[in-house]
Structure 1
Amino acid sequence: MKRILTAALAAVAVGGVALQASAWGNTGHRLIGVAAVRGLPEELPAFLRTPGAAAEVGELAREPDRTKGGGQPHDRERDTAHFIDMDDQARVMNERGMSIDALPRLKSEYDAALVAAGLDVDDAGYLPYAIMDGYQQLVRDFATWRVLNAAEARETDPGKRAWYREDRLRREALILRDMGYLGHYVGDGSQPHHTTIHYNGWNRDTPNPEGFTTSRQTHGAFEGAFTARVARLDAVEAAMAAPKLEGFDLRARVPAYLKTTLAEVLPFYRLEKAGGFTESDARGGTFVTARLAAGASELRDLFILAWRDSADDSIGWPAVKVAEVEAGTADPWLAMYGDD
């Protein structure tokens, strides 16, 4: 529980400003969600490509932090989703933990492997699984929306058509919610402190040859007040990478993304030591912008990829193929409405 308790303690006031212990605080998560939605191409549904949808996802990207403190088992199952503590070789916690490139298929298997290695599951975190789960949920959301949208357009029975419309609107609200939740965890994954054992000052139990700060205010000060002061939407959007959509493999993509962020831990601490996060130094703002843009780019790509994956999905019970419903060769009524 050390990781979670330290994060809670980091929420104390520093210099009169209450600092967030959650990755990026409110500003960073909002910007990542908004920038990702604003970057969506025309192939995605029109209801997503609106200023309202961008604002909604930006707000909902904060939700996993806002729901903390519900008690047990709520908090245990959610608080550890926000991070994964890797050592400098991208192993979970230390040399006894598995490589980020060799994660077990299931989170339960991951937990069991950590326990068998004598490592604390709560300290380790399970961010990769939160991202993968969120992506898979969004694929299911999009598949359901595709079926409802196609069926509504073709249905001649007024009662059924009205139900399809109502359920489509319900699904659109759920899609925005689930995009926000995925956005939160992808955003966590772009914050270097959420990928490392050096998550709040350099880990005092490891060698520190460059004399990096060990201050327990490091994490909160960076992602909270500092980010809120320097981060700007236009700068984040300008720094976003071109989409990377070819050869997608979810179980390879997520670890690769998190390792890219882990590689920014050492640059962060070197910049902090050099005074880069003071008001008079522009380097800190550049670092924040690059990290937020990395999160927004990855999130935009995952939204697009989830939409594309949904075209090959089957949904409902008895299951219907999305492609067949969209082609008009299958009637999804029983799959969608149900036949008790």
Structure 2
Amino acid sequence: MASFILSQRKKTEKSRVFFKNALNFSLLVFFFLPQSGVNGHWGFWAHKRINRLAVFRLPAEMQVFYKKYIDYLSENAVNADKRRYAVEGEAERHFIDLDVYGESALAVLPKHWKAAVQKMGEDSLRKHGIVPWYVQTAASQLTAALREKNTARILRISADIGHYIADAHVPLHTTRNYNGQLTGQDGIHGFWESRLPELFAEGYDL
């Protein structure tokens, strides 16, 4: 009986450690990106590369799972972009116009969605982008999927959340002047996110 109880305790502890490390795939991508030496929004090629490389930044016990599906995470890193113009409410998950909120958006915007809605109004928030709050939503969804051991859902959310956090690191996804249209630099968005990574990725410190 004692050995059985000890065995169950060990299993519980392993599960606790796993979920502690697995806050979610997005946060791991988040910590990976600042160290990569690459700052900006990404086209299809770069999104796939970011999700793929992020797997190798995971804790060892999570790599066992995610490495088996690394091709899926890479190929499906662009699903969120494919939905942008087909699914209502998708586009606003990719950006936030921080300059709308004055000199310090951090001082103005509440961290949690409900508080932000109460203060700013939902329509206004969605108009100017909701990526920080949607990452929180996706993180909760991923945590639930991990607890349920729902592999298909884990992979789908992991691929998406890597995309959203990559977008959140894009200077051009944090301003109303997202394509240089206000400063006579039309087209700079695509040049930054797609062409530059494709041309110079081999020289990046990844």
Residue in 2 aligned with 1:199? Answer: 178
8 Å CA contact retained: 1:38, 1:54:
no
Aligned residue among 91, 95, 101 for 1:83: 95
Q: Does 1:140 align with 2:110?
A: no
Q: How far has the Cα of 1:225 moved from its partner?
A: 2.1
Higher helix share: 2
Corresponding residue to 1:57 among 58, 73, 76? 73
Residue among 124, 131, 135 paired with 2:128:
124
Aligned counterparts of 2:121 and 2:51: Cα–Cα separation in 1: 35
The residue identity in structure 2 corresponding to 1:187 is A
Q: CA deviation at 1:109?
A: 4.7
Q: How many residues align?
A: 166
Q: Cα–Cα, structure 1 residues 225 and 105, in superposed 2: closer, same or farther, change >3 Å?
A: closer
Matched, 1:104 2:110: yes
TM-score of the aligned structures, taking structure 1 as reference length:
0.44
1:69-97 deviation line (CA, Å, top 9, x unaligned): 32xxx32x11111000112xxxxx133x9
Amino acid at match of 1:135: A
Which structure has more relative contact order (CA 8 Å, sep 6+)? It is: 2
Gaps of 5+ in 1: 1-22, 88-92, 146-170, 205-212, 240-340
Within the candidate set 83, 86, 91, 1:67 is matched to 83
Whole-Å separation in 2 of the counterparts to 1:47 and 1:141? 14
Alignment map for 1:24-39 (pairs within 5 Å): 24-39=42-57
**Given the alignment, which residue of 204, 219, 222 partners 2:189?**
219
- Structure 2 letter corresponding to 1:82: H
Q: 1:102 to 1:54 in 2, by over 3 A?
A: farther
**Which amino acid in structure 2 is aligned with residue 83 of structure 1?**
F
- Between the aligned partners of 1:60 and 1:109, the Cα distance in structure 2 is 32
Gaps of 5+ in 2: 1-40
Question: In the alignment, is the contact (CA less than 8 A) between 2:179 and 2:187 conserved in 1?
Answer: yes
Counterpart amino acid of 1:216? D
Aligned partners of 1:35 and 1:54 also within 8 Å = no
1:48 paired with 2:66, answer yes
Determine if the alignment matches structure 1 residue 190 to structure 2 residue 157.
no
Identity %: 27
Task: Output the amino acid matched with 2:168.
Answer: G
Cα gap change, 1:143/1:186 in structure 2, threshold over 3 Å: closer, same or farther?
same
Q: Label 1:101 to 1:37 Cα distance change in 2 as closer, same or farther (>3 A).
A: farther
